[in-house]
Structure 1
C-alpha cells in the first residue's frame, strides 16, 4: 500500500504532478461540482488525457491533443458534497479505464496508443462555479531501479561425483529435458569430455564417437559466476569455459556448450575444429552449428596482446534472461560484434 495524500483543488488552480510507478491508482472524491484527473507522459503545463468525473451529469475520458477524441457515459449524482466516494482508474493494455470501487466493469473506457507513455498524474476541479474538490489519493510506492552490481563470488569449480558421493547442492543447472540438466565432464578414451547429468536416471551422458556414452563417475560443474552467450561454428568468445580436451595428440580444448533440440535445452561439448556443439540425446551424439556457449564475464581480458572489452550486457537482452538459470530460448541474430579469440 502506498501513501495516502489528502488535498483540495480549485478551478484554474495550479496543479501538482505526481509520478506514478504503476498503471493505476485508487482515490476518493468529495465535491459538490465536478472533478478531473490529468494523465501525462511528462510533467508540464499540458496533459495528454483528461478524465472527468460527474461533469454535467456525465463522466468522460478525453485525449486533449486531438480535436475530437472522447468517450463518455451518463453518471448522474456520482459525486457528493457530503461524503467521500471511492473510484479507481487504470491505464494498461492500450486502454484507459475509470470505475467505481467494488465494481469490476468500468464506467467509461478509452483506447489509446502505446506511444503515450503515461507516467504522471494530476488532480483538478473542472467547475465554472468555483467549487473545490476534496481528494484522498492512494499513491503507489516509488520503486527504485535496482543497481546492477558485479558478481564477486560464485566462481566455477568441479566436484567429483560417483556412487558413494552425494550430488553437490551448488551444481549449476545447464539445461532442461523434462527436468533440470546439470553440466558434467568425464574421462573417455583419452579425452575429458563435457556432457549432461539426468537426475531421475542418476546417470551422466557425454557425446563422443557418435554416441551418448553413459557415465556413473564424473565431475559436476558448480558455482554461478557465468553466463550463456549465442555462438556458432568455431567462433569461441573470450572467457569461454574450458571443460576438457580431446583424445588426439594435440589435446584440443573442449568448451561447455548447450543447444536447443526439439523442445529441450541440452548441454554438451563445443569442439572448435569440428565447428559444432555436440549434445547427447536419445543415445546419440547430435551436432549443432548454432548453440550457446558458457563464459565467465571478466573485464579487460587480453588476447594476442590486444585489449578485448568485456561483453556489453545490453547486447544480451532477449525475451528470456538467464538470471534464474532456466532460459529455454535462443536468438542467434545480431551478434556479429562480439569479440572472439581462437586457440587461446
Structure 2
C-alpha cells in the first residue's frame, strides 16, 4: 500500500503541508476549480517556493508560479480540467529543476517549466480557494510495501514524531537517522521480533539492545496495528497508537538530529505500511506530552502590566545582523546556546507575518527557527548576529534591564529583545516580548513561553 493521505481543503487559500520522499507526488482532487500545489523546502510557505495552479481562473487555465510573484513562469489553457462531482487524477514531478504536471495515466505533462535556480524540495502543500473547497487523495511517489528483505526504505520526517500502521506477521523494523541511509548514529525500533514475541530499541546496530520488552502477539498479518514514535533531545518513546500506552522508552546520553526514517521487514515477513507525517491540518497525532513548565498565556499581558508603550529604555546597537540562508553561519556569529545534541545555537532572526523575530540557528538543520502563534517556524532566509554582545543577564516577567539588546519588533511595532532559556538539555535562544512577560522559544514544533529567562545585554 502506498503512503496515502486523505485531505480536505477549504475556500481559504491556506496550504496544508506534508513531506515527500521522492521527486513526484500523485493525487486525486475533487473540486470545482483552483487546486493549488506548493513545492517547498520546509512545512510552510517560504521562499524559495514553486506553485502549480490547476484549474484556476474559473477552471479555465493552469499556471506555474515561483515565490508567489507574477508574471507566471508557465501558463496554459485547461478548460474544465477539474470537476466538483468526481475525482480527477494528476501528478506533479520535479527533476533537475524541471517542474511539470500531468494527468493520471499520461506520461507527457500538460505544463512544465525549468527553474534556473532549483532548490531541494522536501514538502508539498495543497489548498483550494477562490470559491472552491476540495477533497484530496494524496499519494507519495515512494511505495511503503516492504518485502522479506532486510533493506530500509527511507523518507523524511517533518517533526519529532512519526505515526505508522503496520500489517504483517512479525518483524516491523523502523530506523531513525540523520540521513536517508543506514548510517551511524541511528536508532532502530524492532516491533514483534523473534517470531512476534518481543520488541527492542537498538543503537547504531549494536548489541546488547538498549531496551527489550516482551510483546507476544503484538503484530497481526490480517490487521493494521498503529504505533506512535516520538523523539525529543535524545528521549525516544514508542507508544501504542490507539491507546497512547508507552511500550518502550530510552534516553540517549549523546543525541543527534533526526531527519529521516526508514522501514523494512525480514526474517520471513512481508509488511504493508501506512505512514503518516505530522503537519498542520494533515494527519492528527496523539497530544504531545507537556514539554515546558507552566508559562504565561500566549498573547496576554501579565497582571498589572500597563502595556508596552513607555517600556524600559533600550540602548545598544553593537553588532551587525548579516543575511544568510540554508544553515549558513557567517564568521563571527554570536553563539547564544547549544542544542541538546551539543551543537552550537547562534543568535538569529527572521521575518514572519509582518514581524522581525529573534530566534535560533542550528546549522545542521539547514534553517533558522522563530516562534510565533504557538508554533515553531523554520526559515530558510534569516539574519545572524555577528560581532555583537554576549552578556546574558537573568531576569523574569516584564523586567527588561537597561541596555537590553533589541533584536526586532512584533507585527504591532513592539520591540522584541533577545533571550534564552534552558529546556530539556538545551540552552535555546528566542524572543522576549515585554508586554507578555515571557521569553518565547521555538522547540519541537511549538512556541513555548517561560517567565524566567536570560536576556542579552549590549
TM-score interval (norm. to shorter): 0.3 to 0.5
TM-score when scaled to structure 2?
0.36
Q: Which has the higher strand share?
A: 2
TM-score when scaled to structure 1?
0.46
Larger Rg: 1
